[in-house]
Amino acid sequence: MRAFLCLMFSIFYFSSAIAGSLCQGSFVNPITDVCWSCLFPITIGSVAIFKGNTADNSSNPSSPVCYCQTPLPRVGVTTGFWEPIALVDVTRLPFCMVNLGGLQLNMGSSFGIGAQETANSSQNNSFYHVHWYHFPLLFWLKLITDGLCLETGDMDIAYLTELDPTWRDEEWGFILNPEAILFGNPIAQAACAADSLAASTYGPLDLLFWCAGSQGSMYPLTGTVQEHVGGAQASTLLTERMAYKMHREGLLWDSIGVDGPALCQTYPSPIIPKSRYRYQMTNPVPTTGSGGCHPFGATTITWEAAHEYPFKGEDFGYLVWRKRNCCAA
């Protein structure tokens, strides 16, 4: 019995060591790994006081003055800006925390490893796990002092798809998105060409909510990529799907409005407002500087070169930015 226990311990330790060596990633440096130009444009009312280089087709209030009754009565200035709200891992290895320095959580061997599968010459599928971290960076750095206009709190793990049966199984996923049956046809998918063009020029079309622009289709809300073109394309698509999934489950609320209560507090939005989001890569190669962030649905062809490479560059991390319009006191 003692020999058997020693053998089992050795196998467990050896497999954990191998898993740890496969998990790659690095911690996100808030200074050097963040595309701070993604914060712009900053607007007062409808006027941009600091312009940026990233496409922004989201609307802004026309009046520079606002009034709120909740959560505190106040008269303020209608301010618009982009804030980083979440870090996202897209990884083949279960519980590989890419944005936490490649930390590997040992949760057993019952969770499937993601892979890329080539069924035939015309189809290339892949599967990844996704982790969503709460990451209110502006609140931590106190770059904007009005706490009522910022995502607040501490960094924590908000979602692990390994624990979600709907992420791996499309039939289970149908429970969350039954409307997907309406868009699984050539006509609905052909409309995504317009979203692809728009997202790559000035921003995605919220009306075509079932489209992920150049990445393909938002549906189904699972970890399977039906047409895997490359790691950057697939991981970007799953980052966008995860944001949609969080909206559908009520874990992400909308944060933009042109008047009334929308300027004073967030509100549920089960359909993702794509134009409110942009992203930048943090792993394996951070995309920083001018043009480092991209609207949801924009093509990855313009930046993906040298951002995927064997072994250490096959799992990905992203920083998600969200547009915020707020009545700042």
Q: What is the pLDDT of residue 206?
A: 93
* The one-letter amino acid at 85: I
**For the segment 2-31, what is each residue's pLDDT rounded down to a tens digit?**
443 343 334 334 344 444 468 999 999 998
Q: What is the pLDDT of residue 328?
A: 83
38-60-292 Cα angle (round to 5): 15
Mean pLDDT confidence for 155-180:
91
Of the chain, the percentage scoring pLDDT greater than 70 comes to: 85
If you count them, how many residues does the chain have? 329
- Tell me, yes or no, whether 13 lies in a domain: no
Total number of domains in the chain: 1
- Tell me, yes or no, whether 156 lies in a domain: yes
Q: What is the pLDDT of residue 4?
A: 35
Question: Is residue 114 within 8 Å of 91, Cβ to Cβ?
Answer: yes
Higher pLDDT, 142 or 148: 142
Q: What is the pLDDT of residue 261?
A: 65
- Tell me, yes or no, whether 76 lies in a domain: yes
- Tell me, yes or no, whether 16 lies in a domain: no
Q: With 80 as the cut, is the pLDDT of residue 113 above it?
A: no
- In this structure, the strands spanning 42-44 and 74-91 are antiparallel
Lowest mean pLDDT among 26-40, 61-75, 100-114: 100-114
Q: With 90 as the cut, is the pLDDT of residue 265 above it?
A: no
Residue 212 sits in which domain range? 24-328
The HSE-up count of residue 60 (CA atoms within 13 Å, CB side) is 22
Residue 86 CA to its chain's centroid (Å):
7
Q: What is the pLDDT of residue 108?
A: 66
Q: What is the pLDDT of residue 227?
A: 85
- Tell me, yes or no, whether 6 lies in a domain: no
Higher pLDDT, 286 or 110: 286
Q: What is the pLDDT of residue 116?
A: 60
Mean pLDDT confidence for 307-314:
89
Q: With 60 as the cut, is the pLDDT of residue 119 above it?
A: no
- Tell me, yes or no, whether 172 lies in a domain: yes
Output the pTM of the full model: 0.88
Higher pLDDT, 111 or 141: 141
- Tell me, yes or no, whether 45 lies in a domain: yes
- Tell me, yes or no, whether 3 lies in a domain: no
Mean pLDDT confidence for 160-179:
91
